[in-house]
Chain A
């Protein structure tokens, strides 16, 4: 049963009373909240995700609550609870959903050391995955959303989960966060894209989330071996530029974009070296989504990667 199949009233009632348990990629969540708007955003953006079966444990226990006291009425806030802990400072009330997404990222990269975790968008085509590690502002999410509407399957917008045993990327196809102009770019680029509510005046400006395509969610248990790493840079007015990257440079850059490379010790080194070995790596500078996607198509055709 998926979240869309639960009525809005039942969904809200369960969020209030003990929490709704659903699965996101390899993880089980238990989410509780009394916040109506947050409930609406969760229900819409996670609509295709499956509820956990009865015997299945949820590992991340999240509650989004408003503080007790005057903050309840004036300059309302929201607090992210993880188990009994409050790992973050409160956020403004109206940014509850972006805060939830941010907190869920934290849950994953703080706890899921069964993976090497790289801060990267990941998409898949023909059984092979393309990683786009990037710093914020590089246009990775825009590119990811664009590719997802041109025949690529969404594996993840933020976190590449790389399995130590076989080096494959395990999907966690959560909502794709779009910022500022990217929102309109994607609306124009893919009129079928379903976007959630707009959040204005976040730290990153206006933010909206793309609902993950149903097919990506349905296939979220199908891992894929990576074949390409592309480090994108968006630069207004720049011409398209694709530069192959040496293995050593790609290794250093990817390790810098990893959340737990150092923590994993030797295992992290082996998994990362294996990833770099099996991938062709490039830098991509662009100023237009269409051109960037065209360039990626060419790269893929030129270096098809091994099919295992």
Chain B
């Protein structure tokens, strides 16, 4: 791979101790990029863990601490939302699996520290989703997506129902039954993930097993997502891998699981770019195993050119132009992966026609 993009934010994520002696303009850059990527709270804990808290400029320390306080509130709110969901479906005897931030917070994983979240993600088996939805609607959640086409689209093709908003608490709930849309080029069987899900200690919910949690994050970033601007998602993967990586048998289980579920490609990308950009420790055996997910040479070269730039916040005008170009390429790729071309064209045509017809002033 070519050399790493120059970015102060990436440098301090790799080595927090590198901040000694930074000047005012450099700190402003870290704040700017840390805010843009929602990583200030995470940085706060990285600096504290490195024993640097007292050595930072006071104003920087205050900003980081405040971001961490905000993330704590998000975690608290997510746990309360999970509690309310559990309350709403308590008579249904359906397992509730928390995903992403909610799971990290409930299980008190290091990945939750300083991590802000916009909404809560919950997963239940597809065959139970109708009754769960009914129970939630009876307990104050409401649909926000009212358009009939969008509603149909979600239900026919997506891995979640349209987002629900709680009328009193003003919180958004994403109710999933899978981690990938039905249209996706990867056809993922969800049963093994449900079967492997583990209880969260002391709470009435489950979370994905550690290897599945990594695979979910990898799929979310490198298969279903648009990659550009999603450095936070890579930092999640980094934090989870550093956390789970020390557990016995974790790495062989991870690569075996990826093979079993057909998720070698996203796992390959996740390990490759986490190690490249964030120095995530990946044992050589695991990297060799994961190489089974390596794409063709031409695709790999392309991704190696695009992904690092897409995950690095642009600092200069020139970098910004490149970032937008890279983002466009990856945007096209993400739609290509998300659905077959015919469906994509029908979907985008419908979407843009409606935008033109309904809101001429804003289109």
A residues near B256, Cβ cutoff 8 Å? none
Instruction: Report yes or no: A58 in contact with B28, Cβ–Cβ below 8 A.
Output: yes
User: In the complex, what's the smallest C-beta–C-beta distance from B169 to chain A, in angstroms?
Assistant: 11
Q: Are A58 and B24 in contact (CB under 8 A)?
A: yes
Give the chain B neighbours of A84 by CB distance below 8 A.
32, 36
Q: Which residues of B contact A83 (CB under 8 A)?
A: 32, 35-36
7 sample A-B contacts, Cβ–Cβ < 8 Å, listed by A number:
A26-B62, A54-B23, A54-B24, A55-B24, A57-B57, A114-B65, A262-B73
Query: CB-nearest residue of chain A relative to B73?
Result: A263
Set B57, B70, B76: member contacting A113, Cβ < 8 A: B70
The digit string for B39-81, where 1 denotes a CB below 8 A from any CB of A, is 0000000000000000001011011011101101100100000
Q: Indicate if the CB atoms of B62 and A114 lie closer than 8 Å.
A: yes
CA distance A287 to B272 in the complex (A): 70
- Nearest CB of chain A from residue B74's CB, rounded to whole Å: 9
CB distance from B16 to the nearest CB of A (A): 17
**Number of chain A residues close to chain B: CB under 8 A:** 25
- A57 touching B59 in the complex, CB below 8 Å, given contacts A52-B24, A111-B66: yes
A interface, CB within 8 angstroms of B: 26-28, 30, 52-59, 61, 83-85, 111-114, 262-265, 267
Please pick, from A28, A54, A57, A264, the residue contacting B69 in the complex, using a CB distance under 8 A.
A264
| Contact of A57 with B70 at beta-carbon distance under 8 Å, contacts A27-B59, A28-B59, A114-B65 already known | no
Q: Which of B31, B36, B76 contacts A265 (CB 8 A)?
A: B76
Check if B36 sits within 8 Å of A59, measured CB to CB.
Answer: no
Q: In this assembly, does B331 line the interface, its C-beta being within 8 Å of a C-beta of chain A?
A: no
Main secondary structure of the interface of A (DSSP, over half): loop
Establish whether residues B70 and A263, one from each chain, have CB atoms under 8 Å apart when the complex forms. yes
Query: What range describes how many residues of B lie at the interface?
Result: 20 to 34
> Which single residue of chain A is at the shortest CB-CB distance from B68?
A113
Q: Which residues of chain A have C-beta atoms less than 8 A from B67's C-beta?
A: 111
In the bound complex, do residue B69 and residue A112 qualify as a contact, i.e. CB atoms below 8 Å apart? no
- Using Cβ atoms and an 8 Å threshold, which residues of chain B touch A56? 24, 57, 59
B24-A59 in contact (CB<8A): no
At the interface, is chain B mostly helix, strand, loop or mixed? helix
Say yes or no: is B250 at the interface (Cβ < 8 Å to chain A): no
> Number of contacts between A and B (CB, 8 Å)?
62
Asked if A57 and B66 sit within 8 Å, CB to CB, the answer is no
Q: Bound complex: CA of A27 vs CA of B25, how far in Å?
A: 15
Contact of A57 among B24, B35, B36, B76 (CB under 8 A): B24
Q: How far is the CA of A28 from the CA of B57 in the complex (A)?
A: 12
Q: A112 vs B62: C-alpha distance in the bound complex, in angstroms?
A: 8
How far in angstroms is the closest Cβ of chain A from B53? 13
A62 to chain B, nearest CB (A): 12
CB-based contact B65/A57 at 8 Å: no
Contact partners of A54 in chain B: CB under 8 A: 23-24
Q: How far is the CA of A4 from the CA of B69 in the complex (A)?
A: 37
- Residues from chain B with a CB closer than 8 A to the CB of A52 are 24
For A263, the chain B residues whose CB sits under 8 A away are 69-70, 73
By beta carbon, the residue of chain A nearest B25 is A57
Q: A85 — which chain B residues lie within 8 A by C-beta? A: 36
Minimum distance in angstroms from A223 CB to a CB of chain B: 14
